[in-house]
Structure formats: structure tokens, C-alpha cells
Chain A
Amino acid sequence: MVTAPSRRPSLPLRLTGIGKRFGAVVAVGGVDLTVEAGEFVTLLGPSGSGKTTLLKVVAGFEAPDRGTVHIGATDVTRMPPGRRNIGMVFQNYALFPHMTVARNVAFPLSVRHVAREEIGRRVAAALALVELGGYDERLPAQLSGGQQQRVALSRAVVFDPGLQLLDEPFGALDRRLRQQLQEEVRRLQRRLGLTAVFVTHDQEEALLLSDRIAVMNQGAIEQIGPPHEIYARPRTVFAAGFIGESNLWSGPVTARDGADVTIAADGMNLRARAPAVASGGSATAMVRPERVRLLGGAEPADNRVSARVEEISYLGQTQKYLLAAGSRRLTAVWDLTAAPVGSIAVGACVTVGWSAADVHLIAG
């Protein structure tokens, strides 16, 4: 059993008003973000959303036009990358092809003039941490993609960085390896108590790994919060659409009835539980596919729709149903083990519904 090496504590990261433009293109427009010590925060967004630029600003590869970057109490905004004490993991591993595994991992220590015996000890410990003991003398080209990324991981932690940055580190790996490495990264991060900022466009990965997710769009953070919150209560239409599948309808809020409101959207009157939303404005209603229930004939529901099954796709234990009700489309995901579901075929007419509490309203 390998014990975690004693290490300096991780540091919090604080970004204040970070702005960066390339010519006329605003890559990042005024981002504030605080990552607590030991926290794992994901920057999630499509390409061009500014997440990679933001990471490069933190790493020191891009100088921001405005704003400051603090790691712990130190303002590192103008500090070169090598002095920021950041462990970074790159998409294509970025292992030095002309150095052995051991020399790759030793690199950050030898440039810090650590004593030779200590380098040997710490490299061995760091490689053991990713279960690559005995691979010291191999060259990167002699390793598999997964092994290379594990070497890169151990190189990024061996020098006790205050902060770890991961730039789409699983992008080049196949699905199975990706899952293994995701677990490894999370395990390592928890065990060493690393402050980590992780960049990805893969929402599943973000939901799986993060303490908090920052959803980025057009150079700004649209929403930040724990995965369950981002998933259940997205604050913007973009966040709702980008994370998980969702049924979205927009329209004016026409009536209020106690805690519920009615939204006239797409020719339907949707009931939603939203004590705080005022009548008269407009809103977008979101219903996650797994919240859409298959209704028996007389079963009561706040919202009912009759629809035809257009398409069925198999997802494993669940199936996804694409339903058409007039011109409206909606998606439902049902568990195959639930009684009546298995017998539904394409072309069948079904009645579906959902409760007002399962409708999440996004203002505007």
C-alpha cells in the first residue's frame, strides 16, 4: 500500500474580472471565479466558449488584458508559468519524447535543483501513485496512451503544486481507458487534496468528476454550482441545453394558482411549481426526459400530453423515446424494467405527463 507523500497544502485559486480578447474576438469577458483549496472545479463549455483561454490565463500561457489571478495569497497575474507552481496535464500528454519516464517525472524537480537522492525517492513515489513502478527507463513512445497520461499525471503532482490544471486530458483516449483514468484522476485529487481546475466539453465527465461545474458560454460563466444543482436547476437556456437532455418550451406566464403558474408555450398550457415567478413575464420551461412519465388511462397528472412514438433508441437499462404531439417533439427516457414500457413500439399512441414540481422554470 502506497501512502500519500507528505506535501505542502493546496492553495485556493481566485480569478477577478479576467478579460482577454484576440483582435476583435472577446475570448473571455470579465470572469470571476474562486476555487477553494482541495476543490475540483470543471470549466464546461463548447469549443470557443473561452474555457481553454481561461485555463491558459491561469497557467500563465496567456496574459489577461484585465483582471487578476491569485493562487493562495500571491498575485500571479504577471508571473511566468514556471514560477506559479502549477501542475498541468495536457490533452496530448505532452511528455518529452526524448526523455525516459523517470526523467520526465524528475523534470520539475531537477529544474528546482532538488537533491538527487530526493528526486529518486519522489519520482519513485509519484510513479507508484499511478501504478507505473518499474517503467522508469521506458521512453514515452513505448507506452500506451493510458500509461502516457498516467506518467503525465504523476509528473504534474510530483513537485507538490499548489494547483492542478487539466486541459481535456481524456480527449485522446478510448471510452474504457477514459473511465479508468477519470477514476484515477479523482482518486489522486482527493487523496492529495489537490485544488484542481478541469476543462472539458464533455458534460458526462463534468457531472462525474466535479465538486462544482462552471458552465461557460461566449467567454462568460453562465452558471456555477454542484453537478446536481446544474442538472436540476439550470439558470439559463444554454446551461439547460448543454447539460443532459431536456425538453424546453418558452412562452408567457399567463396565470398563477397558489404555488403554481401556467405557461402558454407551443400551444400547451404547462403547469409549473414556481412560487417566485411573477405572472405576465415570459419563461422557458424545462422538463428532463426521465421526469416524463408514461400515464395509465385515468392517472392524474399536472401536465398531460397524448403523443405518438416516433423513434426508440436503446441506451442499456433505459430507452430513449422520441415522441410527437402534433407539431411538438418531446423526449422521454424510461426504465425498461418498468411494467408497461417494454411493449411500446414505434407508431404506438401513448399518454404521458409530468408533475408541476418536475418543471423547472428559467426566467426570460
Chain B
Amino acid sequence: MSISLPADEPPRAGIAARLGGGAGPFVLGLPALVFLLLLFVGPVLRLLVLSVEGGDLAAYEKAVTDGLYLTVFWETFRIAAIVTAASIVLGYPVAYWLTTVSRTTAAIGFACILVPLMTSVLVRTYAWMVILGRNGIINRALRDWGLIDAPLPLLHNLPSVVIGMTHVLLPMFILPVYSVMVRVDRELLRAADGLGASGGQIFARVYFPLTWPGVLAGGTLVFIVALGFYITPALLGGGRIIMIANVIENQVQTLLDWRFASALSMVLLLATLAIQAASSRVQAPRG
């Protein structure tokens, strides 16, 4: 049996025509959309389903009432907060300095920021183990100079984890702050100067408010990425500093408790999204 097409049908008018019109761009995004739905949204939603398996919230109850996990959550937030604060203190002046120097100097500065940023977290964490370890560079030097007899326990504690994480996350703070700072109109600062404001006043009343959106964006990024950190606490914390991601990994790999791991994941995800949303709320009215 043969099928005849209507003669007046314009040639290849179907998809081609739609691609030419307004719907075309949507169609192009479709493969990636399906990909993300299948391999990102779907799997994460499946965790949500797993976490309430059995029809009760027992896993969540355990996550938010058991003292052990509460301590881990508290520790995770505390570390993320310290790392964020350290990034602000260390990064803000650097970002400002980069806006004041010549192109060549700035290029060198950016190299110092981008090379660590792009280097594997593992390599950077390993470097800190080499520096802070029992037989690491610092202990070695102190012993050689006769300042200590036994190695100092520099690794496997809170400061080492904070140092390692700050090293990893600092570049992520500097870049957004810098991109806001370069857009600040120098004329405004000169005008404030001309009006008789002191350096401190110019900073507090003009410069900081203008660059605050960058601090907020960079700080939020550092904080939420820090919340989910796994490698650095695993290696530099040495089992003594445990963050939520380490607990999740342990639940899946060792204890095979998918339900509880899923509940912890959902709590972590919720915290992350809430902070993200709160941050964009704060930012919005400032334009």
C-alpha cells in the first residue's frame, strides 16, 4: 500500500519551519533539559522519596534530634561560617588591590588566584598535608631550629580543616567581589574625597555599600560550597573533624543506610537552597 502526500504541502515544512521560528531555540535546549532531568533532577528527587520510605519521617527525626548528628550539623555550619569570614578578611583587600594596579601586575595577581582555583582540590589538600603533617615542613623546620622536641599536632584538627578549606574557596570569593569592584565608578570616590570625607568615611559610606553585592554573592558561594565539603575534612580532619558530607558518605558506603543518608542529604540540600534564597532576597532590593 502506498501513501500519497498532499501535493500542496510545502517541502520539509515541519520541524524545519518550527526551527526557523520562535520555538527553535527551545528545541535546541531540549536534549540538555532531558539529560538534566534524567541524571540530576530525577536522581535527587529519588533521594527525597527514599528519605521518606516507609511513610514516616523517622529518618529526619533521627537527623535533627540525635545529638551526634546535631553536633555534626553544628560543626559543619561553624566551619562554613569561619571559612566564609576568613575568605572575606583575606579576599576583600586583595580584590580591591587588584582594581588599583597596572594590567601586568593584575595579570600576575590573577595567575596566583586562577592556578590554585583550577587545580584539583585533592592536590591542594595534599599540599597542606605535606606542610602541616607530623613530619611535615613546619614541624621539620621547628625541630631543625630546636624550637620543639616532639612534633606539634598541626593536622587532624579544626584549624587545619579551616586552613585547607579557606585555601580552596578563597579564589571563589575574590573573583565575584573583584567583578563588582571594577564596575564601581572611581568618580564617586573622588567626589566623596572632594566633599571632605575622610578615607574611613569614604570606605564605610560609599565604597563598602557599593561593593556589598559582590561580598554577598562571593560569601554566599563560599558558604554553600563549604557546607557540602567532603575531601578536605576527610583528609585534613583525619576522622576527628567530621562534616555532614563525610557522614553521608559513611552512611552510603559503610553502613548502607540509604534512607538515613537520603534524609541527611535533603537537610543539607534544603539548608543550601535556603541560604541561596535568603541571599538573593537580601541582594534584590539593593539592585
Name A's B-contacting residues (CB within 8 A). Answer: 60-63, 74-76, 78-83
Whether B200 is near chain A, meaning CB under 8 Å from some CB there, is: no
Establish whether residues B17 and A79, one from each chain, have CB atoms under 8 Å apart when the complex forms.
yes
B19, closest chain A residue (CB): A80
CA distance A10 to B20 in the complex (A): 24
CA distance A69 to B21 in the complex (A): 15
CA distance A80 to B11 in the complex (A): 10
> What residues on B are CB-neighbors of A61 within 8 Å?
20-21
Establish whether residues A62 and B21, one from each chain, have CB atoms under 8 Å apart when the complex forms.
yes
Q: Which 10 A-B pairs have the closest CB atoms?
A: A80-B20, A63-B21, A78-B17, A78-B13, A80-B16, A80-B17, A81-B20, A79-B10, A60-B20, A79-B13
Please, could you name 20 A-B residue pairs with CB atoms under 8 Å apart, sorted by A?
A60-B20, A63-B17, A63-B18, A63-B22, A74-B10, A75-B8, A76-B10, A78-B10, A78-B13, A79-B13, A79-B17, A80-B13, A80-B16, A80-B17, A80-B20, A80-B21, A82-B20, A83-B10, A83-B11, A83-B16
Q: How large is the interface on B (under 10, 10 to 19, 20 to 34, 35 or more residues)?
A: 10 to 19
> What residues on A are CB-neighbors of B20 within 8 Å?
60-61, 80-82
Establish whether residues B10 and A75, one from each chain, have CB atoms under 8 Å apart when the complex forms.
yes
CA distance A103 to B51 in the complex (A): 61
> What residues on B are CB-neighbors of A82 within 8 Å?
20
CA distance A78 to B8 in the complex (A): 12
> What residues on B are CB-neighbors of A81 within 8 Å?
20
A57, closest chain B residue (CB): B21
| B window 159-201: CB within 8 A of A | none
What 1/0 flags go to B1-44 for Cβ under 8 Å of A?
A: 00000001011010011111110000000000000000000000
> What residues on A are CB-neighbors of B22 within 8 Å?
62-63
CA distance A58 to B227 in the complex (A): 55
> What residues on B are CB-neighbors of A75 within 8 Å?
8, 10
CA distance A82 to B16 in the complex (A): 10
Shortest A24–chain B CB gap in Å is 17
Shortest A261–chain B CB gap in Å is 51
CA distance A81 to B8 in the complex (A): 18
B14, closest chain A residue (CB): A78
Establish whether residues B21 and A60, one from each chain, have CB atoms under 8 Å apart when the complex forms.
yes
Apart from A78-B13, A80-B20, list 20 A-B contacts with CB within 8 A: A61-B21, A62-B21, A63-B17, A63-B18, A63-B21, A63-B22, A74-B10, A75-B8, A76-B10, A78-B10, A78-B17, A79-B10, A79-B13, A79-B17, A80-B17, A80-B19, A80-B21, A81-B20, A83-B10, A83-B16
Shortest B100–chain A CB gap in Å is 33
From B16, B17, B22, name the one whose CB has the most chain A CB atoms within 10 angstroms: B17
A76, closest chain B residue (CB): B10
> What residues on A are CB-neighbors of B8 within 8 Å?
75
From B16, B21, B22, name the one whose CB has the most chain A CB atoms within 10 angstroms: B21
Shortest A72–chain B CB gap in Å is 13
Shortest B254–chain A CB gap in Å is 55
Shortest B257–chain A CB gap in Å is 50
Shortest A64–chain B CB gap in Å is 10
From A60, A74, A76, A78, name the one whose CB has the most chain B CB atoms within 10 angstroms: A78
CA distance A156 to B18 in the complex (A): 24
